[in-house]
Structure 1
């Protein structure tokens, strides 16, 4: 009997099955166990729920930490924009204020899919999300202040009050010897 004729692929029964023709199980290929697939599915059933819960928790933390992770990039962008009053820095500051305010208005909507899938409340995640967006707004307000657009003196509000005068001027020059 030819060894190659002992194994055939049976495609007539709806699935690819290996049909054996009357020989003992010692001729199975190395590593072949007939009940391995069923045992593997039963074993992974409990682990799959844990993996799903872990992925949902990780996704919630990624969403919560998103604004905090964006702060260093926003700081770099604000530094690169400069302190001059022109259209580019003003547009950047306006977007820096508008995006976090928009995110603050839709916190529940952003976390709603995660809450329905997770089945638990994500209060801590939402608080960190809020703090990150508040940090972005604080960074934008600081940038507005350094540009001189934030009204901080009485002369900014009242026409008859003279503007504040500087008490000290510093002139420096680099001297190379």
Structure 2
């Protein structure tokens, strides 16, 4: 006779388990459980509205996440002043490069929803607008430092020297 361990139970002998759907806990879906065990998922096929709302809220949080970082970066650039030192120039160039890279990679941050149930365009636009704000502030900072060629005198080397209309000679 095989020795039965005290913690092992034979579920086939228990009354009522033959009709196991009566013992399922609330919210249990046997189709999803079978698919999970089999390695497939039905979660992409059926979505309840609460899950869609949670994902949409997560997209909005992700879109507004860089607001603090952008605000802090702009504050740091403002605190450095308009002097031309290597650290302030590097910080301002970083303030230009970071939002450009973030805007370029925004498609990876907000991938399109294949079922078209989530609005990814509007949070992506907010994300790009926040990063564009940092870019505009960094351009303003470069202009205040005098590193942007905005005056006609900045382009004097590109202007041809005009021909002389008069000549003067000294007498001995």
Equivalent-residue separation in structure 1 for 2:10 and 2:105 (angstroms): 50
Pairing partner for 2:9 from 13, 18, 29: 13
Q: Unpaired segments of 5 or more residues in structure 2?
A: 1-5, 15-21, 33-46, 160-172
Task: Give TM-score scaled by structure 2 length.
Answer: 0.61
Seen in structure 2, the aligned counterparts of structure 1 residues 157 and 37 have a Cα distance that, compared at 3 Å, is same
Seen in structure 2, the aligned counterparts of structure 1 residues 118 and 69 have a Cα distance that, compared at 3 Å, is farther
Q: Unpaired segments of 5 or more residues in structure 1?
A: 1-9, 20-34, 162-177
**What's 1:169 paired with?**
none
**What's 1:24 paired with?**
none
SS of match in other structure, 1:128: helix
| Conserved? CA contact 1:56–1:118, under 8 Å | no
Seen in structure 2, the aligned counterparts of structure 1 residues 89 and 141 have a Cα distance that, compared at 3 Å, is same
Pairing partner for 1:137 from 132, 135, 138: 135
**What's 1:97 paired with?**
96
Number of residue equivalences: 129
- 1:98-137 to 2 correspondences below 5 Å: 98-112=97-111, 115=113, 119-137=117-135
Bigger fraction of residues in strand: 1
Q: Which region of structure 1 is more displaced relative to structure 2, 61-70 or 147-156?
A: 61-70
Task: Give TM-score scaled by structure 1 length.
Answer: 0.60
Equivalent-residue separation in structure 1 for 2:98 and 2:10 (angstroms): 55
CA offsets, 1:52-78, max 9 Å, x none? 323311221122112333332122111
| Conserved? CA contact 2:52–2:117, under 8 Å | no
| Conserved? CA contact 2:56–2:118, under 8 Å | no
**What's 1:150 paired with?**
148
Seen in structure 2, the aligned counterparts of structure 1 residues 36 and 142 have a Cα distance that, compared at 3 Å, is farther
Name the Cα RMSD after superposition: 3.1
**What's 2:26 paired with?**
39
- What's the offset of the Cα at 1:91? 0.9
